[in-house]
Structure 1
Amino acid sequence: MEDTDLTPKRAAVLVASESVADAELVGKLLQDEFHNVRLSTKPDFAVEDFEAHRPSVLVLAFDTLEAAQRYYIGLYRLSTVVHETRHRVVVLCNKHDVWTVYDLCSKGHFDDYVLFWPATNDAPRIRMSVHQALRIMTVKAEAGDVAPRAAPAGVSAPPAPRPARVEAQTDTVVLGATLADAQAAKSAAQARQSTSGQAEAASQPLAVLIVEDDEFQQKLIGRLMNGLGIEILFAGTGAEAIERMWERKPDLVLMDVGLPDTNGVEATRKIKSIAQFGHVPILMVTGHSERNIVVESLKAGAADFLVKPFDKNTLHEKLRQFMPALAAS
């Protein structure tokens, strides 16, 4: 086995994610200190990216812990070299998954985790985690321990060599499988996703998050939605709004312009910067309609406005406009 350079300037680091923006964010945080960082953002080429880069440190920057697990188990099931590649795995998680990922790390499924989503309050922590991974690998190598890491639970023997990748004219083949396998897998996945989405939509009511620090206004807007069968969520600050969205992703947000910890424009900008919430429409609620507020809100990603005072009919019209499922009911 070749000696692997584990110095920060040469050690291979691979950042894997389904989001180009997330991968680029993590990559930028690392590139100042680690000069051999690569990004892997196309699921179709996950195995090829790993095998081409042979990372000493693999950073999993996925939206959910489940996605990170699927990716990593998929590598072991499909790659012919991951079993023999010495590497350590750092997974980025949100606060709701901390204990779960801690348990996975303690069992050896991953090596370390960083509480990273939705806010990078301790951005240097990810750099330190990579430094620590390289130090541990260096100490082990000096002690003569150059064995590759064990496969995740549920994965045993290395896979047989994959057939040559068949290039499709319009769709990339999934993880090096043959074209027929890829098309079959794609169709099955779409069917499962459609069924799962329909089941989830049927089991959960539509949800609207009201971001308003005035309790009277919260109750007033909530009463105006009575009879629509909507689950109503409340947040009194911008920070609380993001927390509530992680707990239960709403179908629409009513955002007050004035909040105690920030303003509604900045809160909207932060929400829209999170990939999982980018498609959720945000309606700004304001007592005035100055041009600068309108312009800045639209730039931040707001979909529309509600100017106080508004009545029940106006609110219902806006809700139906931005929640098609409500309009169809």
Structure 2
Amino acid sequence: MEDIDLTPKRAAVLVASESVADAELVGKLLQDEFHNVKLSTRPEFAVEDFEAQRPTVLVLAFDSLEAAQRYYIGLYRLSSVVHETRHRVVVLCNKHDVWNVYDLCSKGHFDDYVLFWPATNDAPRIRMSVHQALRIMAAKAEAGDVAPRAAPAGVSAPRPAPAARVEADTDTVVLGATAKDAQAAALSAARAQQAGAQQTTVPQRLAVLIVEDDEFQQKLIGRLMNGLDIDVLFAGSGAQALDQMWEHKPDLVLMDVGLPDTSGVEATRKIKSIGQFGHVPILMVTGHSERNIVVDSLKAGAADFLVKPFDKNTLHEKLRQFLPALAVS
């Protein structure tokens, strides 16, 4: 296995996050002392970013411990390179996740954690954690321990790709399988392709996410959507809204200005900072229309406003404006 440079000026550091703003913040904190820092903020390129950087230290700057775990396990399931890349993992967490991340680090799932969110009074701590990671790796290398990092619990290493062989009596290349196996695989692929083609002909229902912590208001807005061919999703906080965005990929968001864990403006900024959701219109729902709220919401990426109380016709008109498919439903 080739040697890797473990000096602060050369060591490869990758900061992964769902938020461009968060990744840039962490990156700036590190770049004064570590000169090879890259950011990875688009989930669809997570594997590609890791394989391009081959990081010595991976910093997981996600809003929740669950999101950090999902990202890291996803790397091991989708990339063969991560299994052979020597690296250490630092997780940035909030105070609610401290004991859980401590448990994961003690079991070797991650290597270190920094209490960082929502604000930190010890910004140098993250730099020191990266320094420590490099020192530990250097000490292991000096002792002859250059084994790749073990996969997280429950994730097995991918099987090596079978060697290609050519059947003597045909022109078909078979990857470590019999002709019968190859025929079965081809048939399975054809069926999958046919099923995919059939699926594309079935129109997908539109989905609207209502971000509102008041259950009565949730039900009220939900009822106002009766008669529309829409799947209605609900979230009671900014964190739940992000979870729903990743899980269901809604076509539009109705965002209440006041939420229990953050402001609707900040939640909008978070969602809009994720490239995959940049196109999703977010309509702010508010009981007042002060200029500062309007300006801040538009700066955060909001597309329009709904001022409470509003009726069914007003809501439907807004939905059709931003969901053209509804205009013909």
Give the TM-score, by structure 2 length: 0.60
- Structure 2 contact 14–40 (Cα < 8 Å) conserved: yes
For residue 144 of structure 2, what is the aligned residue in structure 1?
Answer: 145
- Structure 1 contact 56–88 (Cα < 8 Å) conserved: yes
Distance 2:114 2:199 in 1: 28
Read off the aligned partner of 1:230 and give its amino acid letter.
D
For residue 297 of structure 1, what is the aligned residue in structure 2?
Answer: 297
CA shift for structure 1 position 254? 2.3
Of 233, 241, 244 in structure 2, the residue corresponding to residue 245 of structure 1 is 241
Give CA deviations for 1:59-110 in whole Å, capped at 9, x if unaligned.
Answer: 4668775554454566545x9xx84x64334467999x999999987776x5
Distance 2:100 2:128 in 1: 21
Which runs of structure 2 are paired with 1:156-195 in the superposition (5 Å)? none
Distance 1:328 1:113 in 2: 54
Of 139, 154, 175 in structure 1, the residue corresponding to residue 157 of structure 2 is 154
Distance 2:87 2:110 in 1: 10
For residue 29 of structure 2, what is the aligned residue in structure 1?
Answer: 29
- Structure 2 contact 98–115 (Cα < 8 Å) conserved: no
Q: Could you say if the C-alpha distance between residues 99 and 245 of structure 1 is closer, same or farther in structure 2, counting changes exceeding 3 Å?
A: farther
Read off the aligned partner of 2:14 and give its amino acid letter.
V
Q: Could you say if the C-alpha distance between residues 31 and 157 of structure 1 is closer, same or farther in structure 2, counting changes exceeding 3 Å?
A: same
Give CA deviations for 1:27-72 in whole Å, capped at 9, x if unaligned.
Answer: 223223434434578666754543xxxx432446687755544545
1:231 matched to 2:232: yes
Which runs of structure 2 are paired with 1:68-79 in the superposition (5 Å)? 68-72=72-76, 76-77=80-81
For residue 220 of structure 1, what is the aligned residue in structure 2?
Answer: 220
Distance 1:323 1:115 in 2: 42
Distance 1:200 1:107 in 2: 46
Which runs of structure 2 are paired with 1:119-138 in the superposition (5 Å)? 120-121=118-119, 124=123, 126-138=126-138
Read off the aligned partner of 2:157 and give its amino acid letter.
G
- Partner SS for 1:222: helix
- Partner SS for 1:248: helix
Read off the aligned partner of 2:308 and give its amino acid letter.
K
CA shift for structure 1 position 318? 1.3
- Structure 1 contact 282–301 (Cα < 8 Å) conserved: yes
For residue 175 of structure 1, what is the aligned residue in structure 2?
Answer: none
- What is the aligned-residue RMSD (CA, Å)? 5.3
- Partner SS for 2:316: helix
Read off the aligned partner of 1:243 and give its amino acid letter.
A
- List alignment gaps of at least 5 residues for structure 2: 164-189
Distance 2:59 2:198 in 1: 29
Q: Could you say if the C-alpha distance between residues 195 and 272 of structure 1 is closer, same or farther in structure 2, counting changes exceeding 3 Å?
A: farther
- Structure 1 contact 13–37 (Cα < 8 Å) conserved: yes
- Structure 2 contact 13–37 (Cα < 8 Å) conserved: yes
Distance 2:256 2:113 in 1: 32
Read off the aligned partner of 1:15 and give its amino acid letter.
L
Read off the aligned partner of 1:247 and give its amino acid letter.
D
1:12 matched to 2:11: yes
Distance 1:277 1:3 in 2: 39
Q: Could you say if the C-alpha distance between residues 68 and 216 of structure 1 is closer, same or farther in structure 2, counting changes exceeding 3 Å?
A: closer
- List alignment gaps of at least 5 residues for structure 1: 161-187
Distance 1:279 1:116 in 2: 32
Query: Sequence identity of aligned pairs in percent?
Result: 60
Distance 1:45 1:129 in 2: 22
Query: How many residue pairs align between the two structures?
Result: 283
Give the TM-score, by structure 1 length: 0.60
